[in-house]
Amino acid sequence: MLEPQRTGEGRGVLHLFLRVDHAAVPSLPPGAGKDVADVLERWSERTQLHVFSVLGHKADVMLMAIDADLTLLRTLQTEVQASLAAPALTLTWSYLSLTEGSEYTQSPDEYRAYLTDEGVEGDDLDRRVAQFAERMEKYTDDKLHPQMPAWELACFYPMSHRRSGDDNWYSLDFAERRRLMHDHGRSGRAYTGRILQLVSGSTGLDEWEWGVTLFAHDLADVKDIVYTMRYDEASARYAEFGDFVIGLRRSPADLVAEVGLERTT
């Protein structure tokens, strides 16, 4: 067994995008489709694995795995690529990122100062600050150690902050960046219950600075939230986006059938 390679904070997030070569499927050995389905079933019990059939030409399969042990993520990748279906299954793109907390959240001390300015004092002040600290601890833990839901749809896209002329995110002071992200987050909160978002950091790990995965029940909600948030200044002035990939959640057995990895003869 290889030694675990664990992240110091947060969890590794690995997106794998695979394409099926349908011309090669008839030459696969018997049971090849079941073999790759069995690999995915086994890994679904070992780590947090989300399996999607992809709409469009960018891929046929999207796998999203979340784990603190990077060695496990690499082993999952190996086993998928080494399955009996491998001759007809090509890894065309991948994305690596880490879950992270937000640098823009308010600290308990900042919240205390805000409440004090509002005239809150005494036991009421202490109680409200303690409640706030508890909420923020859970918020940060959920971001660092997410357990994403089994919702029907997923949308993945990478993004970076723009660094161009007057629209250079990294030349803004912290207070302005916090203001912009607060406004951006307020837009997103309007979709609570319809969209659940995981933003994982990839600066120094992949081509973009963040990987964004949106989980949804309705594809229209994905379209609406991305459109709505494009008008926020943080996005309109300071964001660049990569390709968008839409996946339909499937069980491993249903995935294999839907993408045509089962031999018909």
In the structure encoding, which two tokens stand for residue 25, read together? 């499927």
In the structure encoding, which two tokens stand for residue 50, read together? 């989300």
Instruction: Write the DSSP string, 91-111.
Output: EEEEEEEEE---TTSPPHHHH
226, containing H or E segment: helix 219-229
First to last CA, the chain: 38
Catalytic residue status for 157: yes
Residue positions counted in the chain: 265
Interatomic CA distance for residues 121 and 215, integer angstroms: 41
- The answer to whether the beta carbons of residues 20 and 61 sit under 8 Å apart is yes
241, containing H or E segment: strand 239-241
* Nearest Cα residue to 27 out of 96, 88, 74: 88
Catalytic residue among 95, 157, 191, 238: 157
Question: Residues with catalytic annotation?
Answer: 157
